A and B are shown apart, each in its own frame.
Chain A
Amino acid sequence: MADRTSERKQEWLISAPSMVWLTVLFLAPTLLVFAISFRPSTPFGGVGEGWTLQTIRELANPNYPAIIWRTVWLSLATTVICLGLAVPCAYFMARARARWKPVLLMLVIIPFWTNFLIRIFAWKVLLHPEGLVKKLLLAVGLVEPRDILMYNENAVLLVLVYSYLSFAILPIYAAAEKFDFSLLEAAMDLGATRLRAFLQVFLPGISRGLITAALVVFIPALGSYVIPDLMGGPSGEMIGNKIAQRVFVDRNLPHASALAAVLTLAVVVPMVAVIFLQRQKKPARAKEAGG
């Protein structure tokens, strides 16, 4: 027991710098954002004195529900599609021959070597009315010459999925790597079809990887700003774009803060819920390691 406490102390000491860092540069600004939501705005783009609920009332803007709805569904759709693509990818990566694994892993990581913005601009080039994708789809007759592939929700979704797919594959692959594939044979031995074994044994076996992947896709997707800005046009706006607009165009900081606070809560509440759920799973796993 004495060992435990000294270990705890050490853990605290080691994590202290990052705790300070997070408190000063992350928690404090976030609290400031929350605070500013309750301040009046000034005509010159500043933050006034005193407290008011004016901004909160302004959130009842009739445009917002649509944008918030779009933000949520785009993020959910991105998460679902990313997981749907990442699970088979991770499965095949984990089952590949040992010498192929590093190669496949490299292929997943290589896109990170190119700047995020450049990759999004590359999509703009591809989807452009004169771009490669458009021409290919025209050639096979899947689109009409007048169809526009960009500046709509679907283009945003496509690029969101593209951008976050790697982030989904990595944690799922890490879980699949540790999965004991003889369990699938055991399930089939007991009469399960390949699909049933996959659903009832493989997916529960990699559940931690799935949860992590869902979080690392859903949270950044909710806060997307660059992708809808470049790919979305007015019909593909997300809440991130509105916040930027309130800051740079309307110069209304309290309003932007209130929107940001709503977004933060939308991220933090589900995350805390998930962490809480995982905590509940933990005792069983700790025993596994011990026994």
Chain B
Amino acid sequence: MPSTMDTSIQIEGVTKRFGSFAAVDNVSASIARGEVFSLLGPSGCGKTTLLRMIAGFEQPDEGRILLDGEDITDLPPNRRKVNTIFQNYALFPHMTVRDNIGYGLKVAGRAGAEIRSEVDRMLDLIQMGDHAGKKPSQISGGQKQRVAIARALINKPRVLLLDEPLAALDLKLRQRMLIELDNIHDEVGITFLYVTHDQGEAMSLSDTIAVMNKGKIEQTGRPEQIYEAPRSSFVAAFIGDTNFFEGKVTAVLDDEYSRMTIEDLGEVLVFNDKRIQVGSPVHLSLRPEKFRISRESPPENGRTNRLEGVVEDIVYLGSHTRYWVNVKDYRIAVTQQHGRFLLDEKPVAWNDRVFVWWHADDGFMLEQYREDDEELLTSPGE
């Protein structure tokens, strides 16, 4: 891939080993200028390591990193036009909020008056003007977070690197800071590289998400692509909940549809634009919200699949309800949004015999998963 003017960061075949273990394994990615690009993945998958290589705290063993087309692989951190928000904020405890924010400008040798006015502007942006004279130990977690953001942004970096910036905050504050981060991004318009293991954060903030697993990027795409069209069983399981069914392709019907057989459940119609061949072992991924559930048999429709089972569990979750339906020893998770039409019916109850059905287009067929993803292929969290 040639780097164009619209590419902010280009990662080319980067590998980082600790001993013989590859924490980041031949990763390539292209981050567009001005976008929010998230690295999403489970703990230990190498997100921080990749971020630290971009910041300059770690040297890649292989590959190179370009910033605006310029190779920065060998530059020390202090000479890269990127700034980092650390997970624990890393504010200097012996300096006031004002001195913390102004540190980058002071190091750059700017005049005192200029630093003061720039810091004032930043204090305004993060609404911390009243706390300028306090030490980091005297402000709250959310305030520290904002100071860390201001301290980074004041240097006008080309890219802001954020390593799980909200992880230390409680849920309420996290949601508020998420909106604030979004606003700040709109205001400054620079590239954000956002590391998180929280899919909700990644989904709501990102233009692009790269899902990482075991040092590799499994899939890169827009949030809805990642969610609706996962390319591996790992991505399907990691992003949102899903039901997995193991089986084999039995017939390819046309360009779009195939039939597959699921052990004990029989044949179902599946969307198969990947042209997976007859006889291939496959997984079918079905998100809980793609199902319909009712006591009456659904109207016939050539594109739907239907199963019959018994409701084992019902969990009311406010905006929706989660049902666990036992179909021939498969435990299927089904969620239904609450709407007017549901209130009018006699609701589905525990131990009811029910039908669950779904449109063939809503299922996702995935080719063989890797052995080590096995632990992910269990039913959704209960």
Interface residues of chain A, those whose CB is within 8 Å of chain B, are 180, 182-183, 185-193, 196, 201, 204-205, 207, 284-285, 287-288, 291
Contact = CB atoms under 8 A, between A and B. Distances in A.
20 contacts: A183-B90, A185-B57, A185-B86, A186-B84, A186-B86, A186-B90, A186-B91, A187-B92, A187-B103, A188-B56, A188-B76, A189-B152, A191-B155, A193-B78, A201-B92, A205-B93, A205-B94, A284-B138, A287-B138, A288-B93
Interface in B56-73: 56-57
A284 B137 contact: yes
Nearest to A179: B93
B195 to A, nearest CB: 15
B199 to A, nearest CB: 26
Interface of B: 55-57, 76-78, 83-84, 86, 88, 90-94, 103-104, 107-108, 135, 137-138, 151-152, 155
A193 B107 CA distance: 9
Given A190-B104, A193-B78, 15 more contacts: A183-B92, A185-B57, A186-B86, A187-B92, A188-B77, A189-B152, A190-B78, A190-B103, A190-B152, A191-B78, A191-B107, A192-B103, A201-B92, A205-B94, A288-B93
Contacts of B155: 190-191
Contacts of A191: 78, 104, 107-108, 155
B107 A192 contact: yes
B285 to A, nearest CB: 39
Q: Which 8 A-B pairs have the closest CB atoms?
A: A288-B137, A186-B90, A190-B104, A191-B107, A204-B94, A188-B77, A182-B90, A189-B84
A285 B78 CA distance: 30
A219 B137 CA distance: 33
Contact of A189 (B55, B88, B108): B55
B137 A189 contact: no
A196 B84 CA distance: 18
A284 B94 CA distance: 10
Contacts of A187: 92, 103, 107
Residue from B88, B91, B92, B104 having most chain A Cβ neighbours under 10 A: B92
A180 B88 contact: yes
Contacts of A204: 92, 94
Contacts, number: 68
Contacts of B93: 183, 205, 288
Nearest to B109: A191
A177 to B, nearest CB: 16
Contacts of B137: 284-285, 287-288, 291
A41 B108 CA distance: 67
Contacts of A182: 86, 88, 90
Contacts of B91: 186
B90 A180 contact: yes
A283 to B, nearest CB: 11
A196 B107 contact: yes
Contacts of B77: 185, 188-189
Contacts of A189: 55, 77-78, 83-84, 152
Given A196-B107, A284-B135, A288-B137, A188 B78 contact: yes
A193 B79 CA distance: 9
Given A185-B57, A188-B77, A192-B107, A291 B138 contact: yes
A188 B107 CA distance: 10
A10 to B, nearest CB: 28
Of A182, A187, A191, most B-chain CB atoms within 10 Å: A191
A291 B143 CA distance: 13
Contacts of B94: 204-205, 207
A190 B107 contact: yes
Contact of A192 (B56, B78, B83, B152): B78
A185 B78 CA distance: 9
Contacts of B90: 180, 182-183, 185-186
A201 B137 CA distance: 16
Nearest to B104: A190
A180 B137 CA distance: 14
Nearest to B137: A288
Determine which residue in B76, B78, B86, B91 has the highest number of CB atoms from chain A within 10 A of its CB, and name it: B78
A3 B193 CA distance: 50
Contacts of A185: 55, 57, 77, 84, 86, 90
Q: Among B83, B93, B155, which residue has the most Cβ atoms of chain A within 10 A?
A: B93
Nearest to A289: B137
B62 to A, nearest CB: 23
Contacts of B138: 284, 287, 291
A247 B77 CA distance: 63
A186 B78 contact: no
A188 B57 CA distance: 9
B75 to A, nearest CB: 11
Contacts of A201: 92
A175 to B, nearest CB: 13
A42 to B, nearest CB: 57
A204 B100 CA distance: 14
